[in-house]
Amino acid sequence: MNMIVPTATPATPNGTTRPQVRIVIVGHVDHGKSTLVGRLLHETGSLPEGKLDMLKAVSARRGMPFEWSFLLDALQTERDQGITIDTTQISFRTRSRDVVLIDAPGHAEFLRNMITGASQADGAVLIIDALEGVRDQTRRHGYLLHLLGVKQVAVVVNKMDRVDFSAERFRQIGDEISAHLTGLGLTPSAVIPVSARDGDGVAERTPRIAWFDGPTVVEALDALEPARPLETLALRLPVQAIYKFDDRRIVAGRIESGSLAAGDEIVIMPAGKIARIRTVESWPVTPMQESQGAGRSVGITLDRELFVERGDVIAHVGSTPRDTRRIRARIFWLHDKPLAEGASILVRLGTRETRATVVAIEKAVDPGELAGVETRAIARNHVGEIDIALAQPIAADPYSDNPRTGRLVIEVNGRIAGGGLILSVATGKRSIPVDIVPVESAMSAGECLARYRHKGAVLWLTGLPGSGKSTLARAIQRRLFDNGGSPILLDGDTLRAGLNGDLGFSAKDRSENIRRLAEVATHLARNGHIAIVAAVSPSAEDRSAARRIAGAAFREIYVATPADVCERRDPKGHYAKARAGALPGFTGIGKDYEPPVASELTIDTSSRSVTSAADELEDMLVKTEILLDLSE
């Protein structure tokens, strides 16, 4: 439940010169958030007349001392438990700001609510108990603010009366939390000593903190900058529904940023279809302003018949979001089951939802410890950066470009399992038609693993012509098959005789050759097979592109046989053809081939048997968790 506490002075209407700033207040349970907020309402004259006296009378009738936190404990269950469960929004005014203060819960089990609150904030107040100091939950909340893109943080060291207003204790806590936040890229705008119960440092500098020459809490709030107005950002109108009235087809949604008007040329993403807005509609029918801005729910009609569906995003031509099937996000994970590579999830972005697969996990961190962990999974209440492959194209913006369309929510089995920020959006040159919907395999990754005893993977064998790539590829294919696996060989020359027969040897055609190989191999890997690619693939950039396509399934094997040995072997005659000018684009060994610098495995076949090389390759697959250890 969101509770808007009425203020003595009505909030300034949107659009005037007084800016509005939304601030979330977070901290460990019992560190005094609700007390501070209650005191702020009193000190700024924001309580309705008689409200304070009424609450004091209620406390007296119950035989309990008055607490400022009672102002926010809107639920009887919260009073009984002595903790704040929901996210409460409070409006009040400072000297130059209209402030919406979002009080978020501190208990770990209520982190979902806290994320909901913080996701709306321009800045934050992080509160710390002077006696207890910086706790794990304090560090976690700091990391959550970083995760959710909050850049402005004021730190309040509360309950200074419990440490006799010790300046030394205040400095210890200030140094510790400042170092922690600075490490996250969040330099505190102020660190303030207060006693919220007694009012010290909230709106006035009292004698008990005479040694402190910084701002009060009210002054610190007054100094926080509001976010860039949403109206100044590019138009983003996620489509919620399409209605038919008479002969009108009305596209309805909420304008998340920017503005629109009749006559505007717009593009519908991710399909990229262009139209003009014929009319802007309202219910009930009322005279409409020429332009409608962010925050307004509107309906529009278009000047032509186009297929539009829920989840599409309407933007102005020239300032569109990116259409993509691949995004990178920083997420906070809430589900009991850890999020692992290969997991199937549902991604919600605005009004769009689509099935997706986690193809890579990096920078998994326990926010309480701030320690990176070498893991391929994100545990409950942990944070990580993930690459997501989407089953359907979506229109998205990085959070840094547009915070309204740069956040996502992840759902697993019908419940919210995590959320976070879009860090980057992968875009391709090819436009995928909106009516093409990829179909997932009927077999799950777990079923394939149980049958084949291996995960899906792309083994990319690269090396000079004659290095032994195809020989090694065939050897590992035979071994995996004999052990019950599902290996599929994709030899570069073989595919050039068929699928890639239309390609030559120019730099552009080589890149396309590798892209096709990578796409086919990745498709096989996602269906549980091990795709074994044997291709010279001389360009490091092309191989990097193949790795991006395959994601976490990619394993690069550099067959590093010396050039003189390769030239003597060269069973396919590439070198002779190159010297004779019969192989366009391939002019020599040293000039064209760019050896890998960070492959998963390097093998020189000049001084060892094929069996020995296959043994080493198999060991690598076990160590990198593609192949189950058959000795177990």
Tokens 């064209």 correspond to: 592
Tokens representing 145 are: 């603010």
User: Which amino acid is residue 519, in one-letter code?
Assistant: E
Give the separation between CA 539 and CA 556, rounded to whole angstroms. Answer: 13
Strand 415-426 relative to strand 554-559, pairing = unpaired
**First CA to last CA distance, the chain:** 53
Q: Is 537 a catalytic residue?
A: yes
Is residue 311 within 8 Å of 391, Cβ to Cβ? Answer: no
Under DSSP, is residue 324 helix (H, G, I), strand (E, B) or coil? strand
In 3-state terms, what secondary structure has residue 594?
coil
78: CB partners within 8 A, 6+ apart: 84, 85, 86
CA distance 147 to 204: 33
Residue 87 in tokens: 């996210």
Query: 427, 428, 409: which is closest to 419 by C-alpha?
Result: 409
Q: Which of 537, 607, 609, 612 is catalytic?
A: 537
Q: Which amino acid is at 119?
A: S
140: helix, strand or coil: helix
Long-range contacts at 587-592 (CB < 8 A, ≥ 24 apart): 589/464, 589/563, 590/563, 592/538
3-state secondary structure of 547: helix
Q: Are the C-beta atoms of 310 and 349 separated by less than 8 Å?
A: no
Give the H or E element holding residue 238.
Answer: strand 237-245
Residues 165 and 161: their CA atoms lie apart, in Å, by 5
CA angle 593/594/597 to nearest 5° reads 145
8: buried, middle or exposed (CB in 10 Å: 19+, 13-18, 0-12)? middle
Tokens read off for 418: 């995590």
- Count of CB atoms situated within 10 Å of the CB of 549: 22
Q: Is the peptide bond before 393 cis (omega within 30 degrees of 0)?
A: no
Q: What are phi and psi of 631, to 5 degrees?
A: -80, -15
Q: Report CA-CA distances (Å) from 119 to 108, 230, 418, 421, 582.
A: 17, 15, 13, 10, 61
User: Cβ distance 333 to 378 under 8 Å?
Assistant: yes
H or E element, residue 53: helix 51-62
Rounded distance, CA 382 to CA 420, Å?
Answer: 12
CA-to-CA separations, 272 to 253, 262, 276, 406, 561, in angstroms, rounded: 18, 20, 13, 19, 48
Q: Cα–Cα–Cα angle for 367, 227, 259, nearest 5°?
A: 125
What tokens were used for 237?
């109108």
Query: What DSSP string describes 382-402?
Result: -EEEEEEEEEEEEEE--TTT-
Distance CA 611, CA 616 (A): 9
Catalytic residue numbers?
537
